[in-house]
Amino acid sequence: MSEADDLSRILMVQADSADSALGWATLGERRWRCVLGAGGVREDKVEGDAATPAGEFPLRRIYFRNDRLVLPKVRLPARPITEHDGWCDDPRSPSYNRLVRIPNDWSHEKMWRQDGLYDLVVVVGYNDDPPEGEWGSAIFLHIAREDMGPTHGCVAFARQDMLELVSLIGPATRVRVLSQPSAETAPSPAGDDDMKQFENFDERDW
């Protein structure tokens, strides 16, 4: 496979079931466990619902803590996170869904975190071209909690998996979050269709 083909691949993300935030992310032949939002996967995401947006989105850039990890060779633009970096999550702000400098008068979350979740972040191009309404902000690929607990709408991976993932994605890579969980899209076991014809069978029909 050429580098051009590699860059154009889709990172496919799908939850296990409607009741679980756990899922799988697939890129080419690689597959990683991941965790999605506590609010499920929604096509009508809004700010504060803790849902992961369904759809296909570009990947913008990488932010990372250079005091905590060594970034592997990557193709996306990348820069270190500083203590003054925040991400605006206030739909009223002209900087909504943008990186901002803190302190800041608008509602925002800190990028410089103690829990390690943002030691490595990939910005997903969701509601950012331009940001509109209250459709949600700060959708990232980032490091998961050790217990793989649900996110607030992002897609999170184990630390080592995240380090591998950022080395494989590029400017043409897109993430596709499926709205239907795998439990609803899995093919029926062999023979199920054959048995359905007998569900309403009555001996009196003979």
pLDDT digits (tens, 9 = 90+) for 102-121: 999 999 999 999 999 999 99
Enter the pTM of the model.
Answer: 0.87
Domain range list for the chain: 3-184
pLDDT digits (tens, 9 = 90+) for 144-179: 999 999 999 999 999 999 999 999 999 999 999 999
The second-level CATH assignment, the architecture, of 3-184 is Beta Barrel (2.40)
| Residue 184 confidence (pLDDT) | 84
Confidence of residue 190 (pLDDT cuts 50, 70, 90): low
Angstrom distance (rounded) from CA 160 to CA 169: 15
| Residue 183 confidence (pLDDT) | 86
Report DSSP state, residue 194: H
pLDDT at 194 over 80: no
Q: Which long-range contacts (CB under 8 A, 24 or more apart) does 68-77 make?
A: 68/116, 68/119, 69/119, 69/120, 69/163, 71/120, 71/166, 72/163, 72/166, 72/167, 73/167, 74/166, 74/167, 74/169, 75/7, 75/169, 75/170, 75/171, 76/122, 76/166, 76/169, 76/170, 76/171
